Structure 1
Amino acid sequence: MDLAIVPFDSFPKDQQMLYQEWFNYADSDGDGRFTGSDATKFFAMSNLSRQDLRQVWAIADTKRQGYLDFQEFVIAMQLMSAAQSGEPITHDLISSDFPPSPSPSISSKWFASKSSQKIPASAVTSIIDGLKKLYIQKLRPLEAIYRFNDFVSPLLTNSDFDAKPMVLLLGAHIGPEPTTDRFVVVMAGPDERSIPGNTIAVHADMPFSGLSSFGSAFLSKFECSQMPHPLLEEITFVDSPGVLSGEKQRTQRAYDFTGVTSWFAAKCDLILLLFDPHKLDVSDEFKRVISSLRGHDDKIRVVLNKAHQVDTQQLMRIYGALMWSLGKVLNTPEVMRVYIGSFNDKPIDYADNGPLGGELFEKEQDDLLLDLKDIPRKACDRKINEFVKRARAAKIHAYIISHLKKQMPSIMGKTKAQEKLIANLEGEFAKVQREFHLPPGDFPNVEEFREKLRGYNIDKFERLRPKLIDAVDDMLGYDIPNLLKTFRNPYG
């Protein structure tokens, strides 16, 4: 049975008030986060076994953030009520005929005692809060001194950590018009409205300030569409303009399209490459875009849409041709996951594809939807993964910058020395790799780094500061593992 959370608004008013009262009581520091520490004190009064409470927490902490928000707290309370009535604790309990009313035996003794100990205002109450603190204290100083924000990625803000998971849609432009060159972010809002790009880029509550670096030419082709929808409360979608193909490639874009795509790819949790069975050729621009996704291979999924328009035999040939084309561009030994079907909200007659085609399309659509539904649950893990990747990239960047600085003469011949270093950048990368025993796959693209390096005076770069490197090493080796340990399931 699927996990279908009952909307809190559907509960009777007295039940809503009771759950809210419990949550306010149990939330020790009043920040709207019911932590593992809160749980060990509050849930103990349920008299359930540790094994039962471990299962309750595992189901209720749907996003693996290490704390429960109010909705998740309500789920936990529902599960415990059912467990006290003798029901086994499973996801199946959370269904359309759930929850049972809170047990009277609970409400009479639930507030029997409460610790007066308060968590300091500066304390970390979630994994994301911990990452914010570590970034400000240990990683951001390294990034700022070695200009990581100029070469690789803008400095992070609170909104980058707090942002909902995002899905990026990329595909070839099929229509007859020259181009529809516009990025559209679709996200939750109180009403339906459109926000222009320049406004989004300076909005403190949105994680798009880094796009300002692409200039007004891009921001004029960027907008946000807000609307109230339950799905958008969990996921934000980024719809990109169609990638140009054929003669359209001669149209020059007024901004760095590949750079913008790469920026979104780093921020997104899932990247969907969309293909049409009648347009499988991978254009030069699409190749550049796909190449810019390297390093994010685990996020990429391929969607072969409109598959009902061809018969089964044609579909097999098209699938083979698509995999062959992608294999040349992606250049990875792993086979990319491809979803085959016709993904829209209109009923489709699969008669021409035979019974196998119809059954296949339905299963593929279900698999894709499961992949999308799984995104919010994995969002916290993804943020941790991206944070660690960023920290390692920042370390390597610091090594490169300080190494180049070290090769510069102290007095004469600085211009020629810089030209020589830039020309032999691949060799300099190899020296850094050998000196610090770094994996070659973690180094930036040589050509892209060389192009950016031309705009700087290497002599003005900073020398290596071991204390900054040590701080990041401590963060990766001790602080982050301890953070994850702190916010794991409080019942083991």
Structure 2
Amino acid sequence: MSLPPSPRPLTFSPWCIYIACPHVTVLLAAEMKGLLLICCSVPLLFLAAAEEEGKMLVSLLRDRSHIEDTLQAAADQPNDKYQAGLKKLRNIYQTSIKPLEKVYKYNELRQHEISDAEISSKPMVLFLGPWSVGKSSMINYLLGLQDTPQELYTGAEPTTSEFTVIMHGEKTRTIEGIVMAADSSRSFSSLEKFGQNFLEKLVGIEMPQKLLERVTIVDTPGIIENRKQQERGYPFNDVCQWFIDRADLIFLVFDPTKLDVGGELEMMFRQMKSRESQIRIILNKADSIVPQDLMRVYGALFWSLAPLINVTEPPRVYVSSFWPYQYAPDTSWELFKREEISLLEDLNQVIENRLENKIALIRQHGIRVRVHALLVDRYVQTFYEKTGYFGDPELVFKEIVDDPDRFYIFKSILAKTNVSRFDLPDPEAYRDFFGVNPINSFKPLSAHCPFWGRCLLNKIEAAITEELPGLISSMAAGRAPSLSCEDTGCQEEPKNRYRRH
């Protein structure tokens, strides 16, 4: 049954007013002293049809009970074991990794400084993909926002022009990007470096949703391959890199009509290098085409993405229609339902392993900081060896930076340390790094060994090889990590030696 057509516009005459529609006929006569009702006929059939139409609209919505069950949205808050593990992880980073990170200015190389708010933040799920592929509709479906005031706006045209961060809050409210960046208790303060134009395109939404107590969702503007429309007024790719570096799960969404890969999407795949384990590809709106065509589209999607994903095993591809309404008739709705549940289980696994993922992230960060420190140390040693008493510092510096292989800078690290060649950064990055930071402003690693205490290099190596793996093992075994006074900040109470105990 279709909805009753809306009433046609009112037609006016000097004596009568007509309101005409297929189910209602009202005739009003205008007199000098007022309105006199001549005829009014409202068939009961219209009211019955409207009630039946409302029931049909409700029946079109899909049941969401499996989302609540699979994602365990009513789960309890993190327990004491989780809080103790988080406190231990924060202490390891502050005492063993951050000192070396600061000394050799790692943040200026990678533009990624880990804050306390980022360590304690909830898992982040990032939605990427071309415009109008159903990213916002999928978020509405996961959170149950359909037909509510909090529903994200969707449409066939490019509708999302902001980076929308959806978080948990006691009440529904919108937070401007400038306020989010200024709040040091959140993990978004470092976004200020992308300028005020970007902060105007950043918006936060807080709402009292159960799922948001366990995860933060980020909706992004659609990728538009038209070069004229790429002029967004802020560094779009750099902003995406910021969110990619911090995302626990990346949903890359496509639909059957937008499988072409352009320059902007190709750049984004290069930015996601080494993050392939976090990528999940979603072929959305799968019920919009017949099964035979869906097989061809699935193959075309793999053919388009194969050159961009440099892994032996391709990422998981989920095929379904992720929105609140029922699947289209004559489609493989059982397959789509199983794919949907499989995706929800994947998301729930990431939420459950949030602390283990944080530990792995800090350990990966520590490995990069260690490699960076070893490289800077090697650059500095080579610079002082080749300069001597009578060498030209500027000429020696230019030779080393322009051709580091000539001085075996990278190869010497592979030969003398247990560093993988796959963890070595691009030599070109150090040309820019030393262009901003003079090489003579750094000291060798041997100079950072205090008379009392361990060297900075020994601290970070102990964190990578012993402390962080031990923390993962204790969490996996169900044991709360032991906290020392360094972890808790406790201080021993001074004793009065003249008092009798």
**TM-score, scaled relative to structure 2:** 0.69
Deviation at 1:432, TM superposition (A): 2.9
Structure 1 vs Structure 2 CA RMSD: 2.8
Q: Is the 8 A contact 1:186 1:225 kept in 2?
A: yes
Pairwise mapping of residues 63-462 of structure 1 onto structure 2 (< 5 A)?
Answer: 67=81, 126-174=84-132, 180-245=160-225, 247-248=226-227, 251-351=230-330, 353=331, 357-408=332-383, 409=387, 412-425=391-404, 428-462=409-443
Deviation at 1:198, TM superposition (A): 2.0
- Number of aligned residue pairs: 377
User: Quick check: which has more Rg, 1 or 2?
Assistant: 2
Query: Which whole-Å CA distance do the structure 2 matches of 1:171 and 1:225 have between them?
Result: 21
Query: Which residue identity does 2:467 align to in structure 1?
Result: D
Query: Which residue identity does 2:221 align to in structure 1?
Result: P
Deviations 1:172-203 (A, max 9, x none): 12488688542111100122211122221121
C-alpha change, 1:286 and 1:421, in structure 2 (3 Å) is farther
Structure 2: runs of 5+ lacking an equivalent: 1-65, 133-154, 450-454, 481-501
1:473 aligned partner = 461
Give the match's secondary structure for 2:471.
helix
**TM-score, scaled relative to structure 1:** 0.70
Deviation at 1:475, TM superposition (A): 1.6
Pairwise mapping of residues 14-53 of structure 1 onto structure 2 (< 5 A)?
Answer: none
Deviations 1:339-360 (A, max 9, x none): 0111011122231x3xxx2221
Query: Which residue identity does 2:88 align to in structure 1?
Result: G
Query: Which whole-Å CA distance do the structure 1 matches of 2:379 and 2:232 have between them?
Result: 34
Q: Is the 8 A contact 1:178 1:248 kept in 2?
A: no
Query: Which whole-Å CA distance do the structure 1 matches of 2:185 and 2:276 have between them?
Result: 29
Query: Which whole-Å CA distance do the structure 1 matches of 2:397 and 2:473 have between them?
Result: 46
Deviation at 1:415, TM superposition (A): 2.9
Give the match's secondary structure for 1:67.
helix
Deviations 1:116-172 (A, max 9, x none): xxxxxxxxx611100111111111101000111111244322211110111011101
Query: Which whole-Å CA distance do the structure 1 matches of 2:73 and 2:160 have between them?
Result: 40
Deviation at 1:306, TM superposition (A): 0.9
Query: Which whole-Å CA distance do the structure 2 matches of 1:210 and 1:323 have between them?
Result: 36
Bigger helix share: 1
1:89 aligned partner = none
Query: Which whole-Å CA distance do the structure 2 matches of 1:284 and 1:448 have between them?
Result: 22
Q: Is the 8 A contact 1:396 1:443 kept in 2?
A: yes
Query: Which whole-Å CA distance do the structure 1 matches of 2:466 and 2:411 have between them?
Result: 29
Q: Is the 8 A contact 2:130 2:222 kept in 1?
A: yes
Give the match's secondary structure for 1:345.
coil
C-alpha change, 1:274 and 1:445, in structure 2 (3 Å) is farther
Query: Which whole-Å CA distance do the structure 2 matches of 1:425 and 1:285 have between them?
Result: 32
C-alpha change, 1:370 and 1:486, in structure 2 (3 Å) is closer
Deviation at 1:444, TM superposition (A): 2.4
Query: Which whole-Å CA distance do the structure 1 matches of 2:169 and 2:445 have between them?
Result: 46
C-alpha change, 1:288 and 1:485, in structure 2 (3 Å) is closer
Deviation at 1:321, TM superposition (A): 1.3
Query: Which residue identity does 1:239 align to in structure 2?
Result: D
Deviations 1:423-470 (A, max 9, x none): 335664344333324111112244455444433322323322461111
Deviations 1:38-69 (A, max 9, x none): xxxxxxxxxxxxxxxxxxxxxx9x96x7727x
Q: Is the 8 A contact 1:249 1:285 kept in 2?
A: no
Query: Which residue identity does 1:363 align to in structure 2?
Result: R
Identity fraction in percent: 29
Give the match's secondary structure for 2:303.
helix
Structure 1: runs of 5+ lacking an equivalent: 9-59, 69-124
Q: Is the 8 A contact 1:414 1:459 kept in 2?
A: no
2:54 aligned partner = none
Deviation at 1:315, TM superposition (A): 1.1
Query: Which whole-Å CA distance do the structure 2 matches of 1:249 and 1:424 have between them?
Result: 38
Query: Which residue identity does 1:132 align to in structure 2?
Result: R
